[in-house]
Amino acid sequence: MPDFQQRMDTFRETRNTLGVTIHDWLVNIGFEENSAIILKGAIIVLGLFILSYIVLFIAKKIIVKVLHEIAKRTENTWDDIMVERGVFHRLAYVAPAILIHELMPNMLKDYSTWIVILQAALEIYMVLIVIMVLDAFFNALIDIYQNYEISKFKPIKGYIQIMKIIIYLISGIIIISILINKSPIYLLTGLGAISAVLMLIFKDTLLGFVASIQLSSNDMLRPGDWITINKFGADGTVMDINLTTVKIENFDKTITTVPTYSLISDAFQNWRGMQESGVRRIKRSIIINMNSVKFCTPEMLDSFSKITLISNYIKETQLSLKEFNESNNVDHDTIINGKRQTNLGIFRAYFQAYLNNNEYLSKENTLIVRQLQPTERGLPIEIYAFSTILEWEKYEDLISDIFDHILAVIPHFELQIFQNPSGSDFKSLVNVQI
């Protein structure tokens, strides 16, 4: 303790001696007393800033560099992320502020007005440095969190942004209180009067904050999910979820940005369940011309019996129908009496057997061929199945292969596909009439 007191006394003597020396030098070169006093203070202030710059240079080039080297040598990744986000680099700016804070009262003891001004500037500077350091720290925190598996299910970027906004607001209040020399509590009491204005200004932010909480707590959306939002024309992968927007990379490599709260107020489709289940639904139909549907003749049944996939089905069905007709004494003179096979029924059986025989369709999920409600265009025949192929390109190839085959075999069942007449159809009709 005596040694410390002795050093402080020595520092004060040096400061007083330095101040007297500068004052005497200014007077000797021709300055008046008042001018010499003002210039002496300016020189001291300039000297403080030069000294603080030297301290900042040492902190950035030596201390921070050493910390960077230590971070590189450790096995942890969090310190490397801190370095990349510039947390230590921004902390270096605290060093000159500490230096000026310690030296200013002694060096400018005779300049009370200057001390007040510099003290206010120093406090504002410290607030700004704290904001910079916390901003870099929160950015690093997001990067560190994203290295964990839980980040795929519970993103925290929206919460971090709220914390940043709160810090910015508090910092702004502190800076204003320093400038007007009032307590921050004095400003906080006035916030109630402008709360309506603040609600209007931060409407999107507040809505986004509430929406992000709902999306996260209900596990409605995660980064990496494939979603479709028809209202915004978005169809792709979620890249980022923040406080106000959700960024989606569409499959055509364009980027769609939608408000976060719109995912709560409007409908969107999340395909995550399909991806997690390991299957992808196929729901597609063809339209049969109803005029081509008819009962099968013996010749048609003989021809269809040669088709391997349905030969047993035709034989077993034919025996079952024969037993039914005989037991009910059906009059075969009229074809509509009793039960008979149709070309459409046999086609559906073939379609079903063909799908059952496809190795890329899940047999554990629904796999049916069904008729839909007839329309003025014809009779829709729909397949409802689940593909074990999830990749988009291969999935589309599978569907194309199925319908290529079906469209090619339909004429063999003496059925016709409905399609609107084209120009060539009308031209052929005219040529026939001529």
How large is the average pLDDT for residues 345-359?
Answer: 94
Q: Are 203 and 228 contained in the same domain?
A: no
What percent of the chain is modeled with pLDDT above 90?
Answer: 23
User: What pLDDT score does 123 carry?
Assistant: 82
Instruction: With beta carbons less than 8 A apart as the criterion, state whether 132 and 93 touch.
Output: yes
Based on the domain organization, do 147 and 258 belong to the same domain?
Answer: no
Residue 370 lies in a domain: yes
- Examine residue 61 and state whether it is found in any structural domain, yes or no: yes
| One domain for residues 203 and 238 | no
The answer to whether position 433 is within a domain reads: no
259 and 188 co-located in one domain: no
User: Which has the minimum average pLDDT: 236-250, 306-320, 386-400?
Assistant: 236-250
CA–CA separation, 44 and 2 (whole Å): 29
Distance CA 339, CA 345 (A): 12
Q: How sure is the predictor about 4, in pLDDT bands with cuts at 50, 70 and 90? A: very low
pLDDT top residue among 56 and 105: 56
Q: Encoding tokens for residue 102?
A: 């310690």
- Out of 38-47, 217-226, 369-378, give the one with best mean pLDDT: 369-378
Tell me: do 64 and 116 sit in the same domain: yes
In this prediction, residue 120 carries a pLDDT of 81
- Which of these ranges, 226-235, 300-309, 327-336, 373-382, has the smallest mean pLDDT? 327-336
Judge whether 346 lies within some domain: yes
Q: Do 172 and 242 share a domain, yes or no?
A: no
Domain boundary among the residues 186, 213, 240 is at: 213
Helices (H), 29-151: 33-58, 64-73, 78-84, 87-91, 94-107, 112-145
What is the maximal distance between C-alpha atoms in the chain? 140
Q: How many CB atoms lie within 10 A of CB 83?
A: 19
Residue 140 structure tokens = 């690093």
Q: Is 168 in the same domain as 38?
A: yes
Residue 255's contacts (CB-CB under 8 Å, 6 or more residues apart) are 239, 247, 248, 249
Is the pLDDT score of 32 beyond 70?
no
* 148 and 236 housed in the same domain: no
Average pLDDT over residues 115-135: 82
- For residue 175, being part of any structural domain is answered with yes
Residue 260 belongs to domain with CATH number: 2.30.30.60
Q: How far is CA 19 from CA 115, 289, 290, in A?
A: 16, 107, 109
Does 434 reside within a domain? Answer: no
The answer to whether the CB of 278 falls within 8 A of the CB of 390 is yes
Classify residue 372: in a domain, yes or no.
yes
Same domain for 86 and 174, yes or no, is yes
Cα 396 to Cα 389: distance, rounded to the nearest angstrom: 9
Placement of tokens 């927007």 in the chain: 245
The overall pTM is greater than 0.85: no
Q: CA–CA separation, 434 vs 430, rounded Å? A: 6
Domain end (from 213, 243, 267): 213
- The tens digit of pLDDT for each residue in 387-407 reads 999 888 899 999 999 999 999
Two tokens at 182? 């009032």
Q: Same domain for 107 and 248?
A: no
Domain total of the chain: 3
Task: Tell me, yes or no, whether 408 and 286 share the same domain.
Answer: yes
Per-residue pLDDT, 1: 45
User: Would 92 be classed as within a structural domain?
Assistant: yes
Q: Is 387 exposed, middle or buried (0-12, 13-18, 19+ CB in 10 A)?
A: buried
pLDDT score, position 8: 45
Domain housing 298: 280-428
Condensed to tens digits (0 to 9), the pLDDT of residues 149-172 reads 776 667 777 778 778 878 888 888
Amino acid at 91: L
Q: Domain check: are 226 and 311 in the same one?
A: no
Judge whether residue 11 has pLDDT over 50: no
Cα 359 to chain center, whole Å?
35
pLDDT over 50 (residue 145): yes
Instruction: Write down which residue in 161, 184, 213 finishes a domain.
Output: 213
Q: Higher confidence at residue 257 or residue 89? A: 257
Task: Please determine, for residue 350, whether its predicted confidence score (pLDDT) is greater than 60.
Answer: yes
